[in-house]
Amino acid sequence: GAVVSQHPSWVICKSGTSVKIECRSLDFQATTMFWYRQFPKQSLMLMATSNEGSKATYEQGVEKDKFLINHASLTLSTLTVTSAHPEDSSFYICSARKIRPDDIETQYFGPGTRLLVL
Amino acid sequence: DAKTTQPNSMESNEEEPVHLPCNHSTISGTDYIHWYRQLPSQGPEYVIHGLTSNVNNRMASLAIAEDRKSSTLILHRATLRDAAVYYCILRYPFYRDNYGQNFVFGPGTRLSVLP
């Protein structure tokens, strides 16, 4: 299967600072990547869809000015949490879409980044 | 994408088979059935997918009802490493998707494996 990496795997920061999370598809090109957030004991919630070379599409209720997404290349998308607050503490997961030859979509997920804002 | 329903949790003994059910009574003719699982503190991983016929791979088997309104993920011999949340997701083929829409993750089934 394909490999998606995330960096950092965990981060602790002070309230008011900005944090950047990188998502890389290591062995395939991904025109579309996705960012999710997961709170304890809950399912994944899609935050935004990141398309290479264009603006991200944000889900309802997700502040685009707070969660900045950049998809500058076919293998890299970044999520920046600006002016982080304790309520932004969560598990952030990215995925990269790969289309099989039979036109079926598979998503390959990164290992996640645990953010703790003090 | 049509909705799926799964039991909140299931328990299995190690080395025994596990059958994880999923109901999807509103499935459309072109929806594929996908299964992903999420181990603790990790991102989800692909398990298997199918359309109509039963499918096997090295991780699991997928049994699809004849009317396609339900399916079952089968782990033939559960190990402690199979303890995870299992998600059943319906998704149409990519050629129908012009807007980069996404999988929708429900609450899934939390599988506990007892030694």
Residue A51 is nearest to which of B32, B41, B100, comparing CB atoms?
A: B100
Instruction: Give the Cα separation of A31 and B27 in Å (integer).
Output: 28
User: Which of the four pLDDT bands, split at 50, 70 and 90, describes residue B67?
Assistant: very high
Answer whether B42 sits within 8 Å of A112, measured CB to CB. yes
The answer to whether B43 faces chain A, any CB pair under 8 Å, is yes
Which residues is B19 bridged to in the sheet?
B74
The mean pLDDT of B39-49, rounded to a whole number, is 94
Question: Which of B4, B95, B102 best tests the A interface by mutation, with the highest count of A CBs <10 A?
Answer: B102
pLDDT score of B97 more than 70: no
Tell me which residue of A55, A50, A54 sits closest to A97, measured CA to CA: A50
User: Which of the four pLDDT bands, split at 50, 70 and 90, describes residue A103?
Assistant: low
| Amino acid present at B42 | Q
pLDDT digits (tens, 9 = 90+) for A37-50: 999 989 999 999 98
